[in-house]
Chains A and B, each alone.
Chain A
Amino acid sequence: MDKGTPSSALPTCAISLNINGTNRVLDIHPWVTLLDLLRGPMELTGTKKGCDHGQCGACTVLIDGERVNACLKLAVSIDGAEITTIEGLGTPQDMHPMQKAFVEHDAFQCGYCTAGQICSAVGLVAEGRAHSRAEIRELMSGNLCRCGAYTNIADAIEHVLDQEGVTPLREAAE
């Protein structure tokens, strides 16, 4: 069994999670958030902490395929779930199409919000509800980017949507 958090006198709970395809059985304190679990004991630091309060989207991961803010999720409450983080989408050598599109369109500057943006964008594509530029913007508004890469992020996502061909982009309804 993996050690979830440093030992102490306080009670722990056993949970199992599938993280990026690997099953993990963990013994954790109930107050540990999914974000702190990933970044700490799981050493998956690709997922970022930008606020720790659901206000920025930097911590976005996919839980059972849906994009969610990891910072407000107690890990105990998602026992049995499948988690995909940025590390699970692709590697520098073998990038996910969304990751490639982000590089190509310079959809980041400092790169700190980027993991959250990409996980969110992958969730958005899977949801299949973004059919226009305006919809991309609105449905990506849960991911703040202080570097202001928004227009490039929208370009990258549009590119992937076009490529996938599943949801042809209609003219922006502006």
Chain B
Amino acid sequence: MRPFSYTRAETVQDAVIALAADPGAQLLASGTNLVDLMKYDVAHPTAIVDINRLPLKEIEDLPGGGLRIGALASNSAVAYDRRVQERYPLLSSAILAGASPQLRNAATTGGNLLQRTRCFYFYDPSTPCNKREPGSGCSAIGGTNRIHAILGASDKCIATHPSDMCVALAALGATVEIEGPDGRRDLAMTDFHRLPGDQPERDNTLAPGEMVTAIRLEGNHFARHHTYLKLRGRLSYAFALVSVAAAIDIADGEIVDLRVALGGVAHKPWRDTLAEAEFAGQPADEATFRGIAGRLLAAAKGQGGNDFKIPLAEKAIVRALRQAASGTPQDQVVKAVQ
């Protein structure tokens, strides 16, 4: 860690001003990612703006059956909120598939969105890494890349976004509420994170000085047919190798609306809305599920150590769709795959 100045923001305005004023400033929510990265000598904020006092903890009802989740609502608070469990069980399930109870008690919604990749090299300052040090090279290409991306990677970076929660939010079509020096704006969850391209140092599309204040969810028809299926190196307390958030609106055995988001495979929760649209009106059966998996992974490319993720993701998508269609979502406690 490097010495930094510490201020406690009392209002969102305070925080935004402090953030915009100093390019070295970073927001501190619960710190489970930021403090971790500072200790590993990866993050070097010169100023910490503590946002824990901001009034952003609430989970509020919205007209039309939606919810607004404050950026400081803890992962546990969201996952166990009765309204979330009833209306967005997919979100609850995805959160409970991640990290540990202790971490979820601390971790915030905003922090989870902004958490950085777990790429081994990103975490190890003695190795070249374009995300950590633009232009230094990508050590994961040709290196130890078991956990890396199979979709949307570039020759500059093949990292994945590690969040489980965000995969569900992407599937549910959440909206991110943002506050910045130029005021408030909304951003679709699917546009929040970005692909690495030539600028892997940028994880998302937030402008300097902007912060997340809330996540908005609309009313939806996915409470019955959904699942979050996470595959990982041990049965709990491990990041996803591959995860699938699936939600289907089914009528008379046919797909009315379909959402599939993938975790652990790309620099952002991977969703392909065009592909999803193609399958509307198709029967909710094995053949369709295979078709969807094939379509989503058509451009998948392995890096050696992670080649297995392609067949694994394919099978996982089919399985998740089957779980969702049959109304038997993956239980995050019982470890047998449903």
Q: Are B101 and A123 in contact (CB under 8 A)?
A: yes
Q: What is the distance, in angstroms, from A65's C-beta to the closest C-beta of chain B?
A: 10
Residues of B within 8 A of A142 (CB): 99-103, 237
B1: Cβ under 8 A from any A Cβ: yes
Binary CB contact string for chain A from 29 to 43 against chain B (1 if under 8 A, 0 otherwise): 111010000000000
Q: What is the distance, in angstroms, from B65's C-beta to the closest C-beta of chain A?
A: 26
B274: Cβ under 8 A from any A Cβ: no
Q: Are B101 and A31 in contact (CB under 8 A)?
A: no
Closest A residue to B38 using CB positions: A31
Q: Are A77 and B39 in contact (CB under 8 A)?
A: no
Q: Are B101 and A67 in contact (CB under 8 A)?
A: yes
Q: Are B36 and A72 in contact (CB under 8 A)?
A: yes
- Cα A90 to Cα B49 in complex, Å, equals 37
A139: Cβ under 8 A from any B Cβ: yes
Q: What is the distance, in angstroms, from A120's C-beta to the closest C-beta of chain B?
A: 7
Residues of B within 8 A of A139 (CB): 101
Closest B residue to A12 using CB positions: B6
Q: What is the distance, in angstroms, from B1's C-beta to the closest C-beta of chain A?
A: 5
Q: Are B334 and A173 in contact (CB under 8 A)?
A: yes
Partner of A68, one of B1, B5, B102, B332: B102
Q: Are A77 and B5 in contact (CB under 8 A)?
A: no
Residues of A within 8 A of B8 (CB): 79
A86: Cβ under 8 A from any B Cβ: no
Binary CB contact string for chain A from 112 to 133 against chain B (1 if under 8 A, 0 otherwise): 0000000010011001010010
Q: Are B333 and A134 in contact (CB under 8 A)?
A: yes
Residues of B within 8 A of A30 (CB): 4-6, 48
Binary CB contact string for chain B from 91 to 105 against chain A (1 if under 8 A, 0 otherwise): 000000001111101
Residues of B within 8 A of A21 (CB): none
Chain B interface residue count, Cβ-Cβ cutoff 8 angstroms: 34
Which among B27-35, B174-182, B189-197, B242-250 touches the partner chain? B27-35
- In the complex with contacts A138-B236, A141-B236, A173-B334, A11-B5 CB distance below 8 A: yes
Residues of B within 8 A of A120 (CB): 101-102
- Cα A66 to Cα B80 in complex, Å, equals 14
User: Of residues 60 to 111 in A, which have CB atoms within 8 Å of B's CB atoms?
Assistant: 60, 66-69, 72-74, 76-79
User: Of residues 60 to 95 in B, which have CB atoms within 8 Å of A's CB atoms?
Assistant: 76, 80
A50: Cβ under 8 A from any B Cβ: no
Q: Are B32 and A69 in contact (CB under 8 A)?
A: yes
Q: Are B101 and A73 in contact (CB under 8 A)?
A: no
User: Of residues 7 to 57 in B, which have CB atoms within 8 Å of A's CB atoms?
Assistant: 8, 28, 30-32, 35-36, 38-40, 48, 50, 52
Q: Are A33 and B102 in contact (CB under 8 A)?
A: no
B142: Cβ under 8 A from any A Cβ: no
Q: What is the distance, in angstroms, from B181's C-beta to the closest C-beta of chain A?
A: 24
- In the complex with contacts A69-B103, A142-B99, A173-B333 CB distance below 8 A: yes
Q: Are A77 and B52 in contact (CB under 8 A)?
A: yes
- In the complex with contacts A11-B5, A77-B28, A134-B334, A69-B102 CB distance below 8 A: yes
- Between-chain CB contacts (< 8 Å), 21 pairs: A11-B3, A11-B6, A30-B5, A31-B38, A33-B35, A52-B39, A53-B39, A54-B32, A54-B103, A66-B76, A69-B32, A72-B30, A72-B103, A72-B106, A73-B30, A73-B31, A78-B52, A79-B8, A123-B101, A134-B334, A142-B102
Q: Interface of A with B (CB < 8 Å)?
A: 10-11, 13, 29-31, 33, 52-54, 57, 60, 66-69, 72-74, 76-79, 120, 123-124, 127, 129, 132, 134-135, 137-144, 173-174
Given A132-B333, A142-B101, output 8 extra A-B contacts at Cβ < 8 Å: A68-B102, A69-B103, A74-B48, A77-B52, A79-B8, A120-B102, A142-B102, A174-B334
Across the A-B interface, give the 8 residue pairs with the lowest CB-CB distance, nearest first. A142-B100, A141-B236, A30-B6, A138-B333, A66-B105, A142-B102, A141-B237, A72-B32
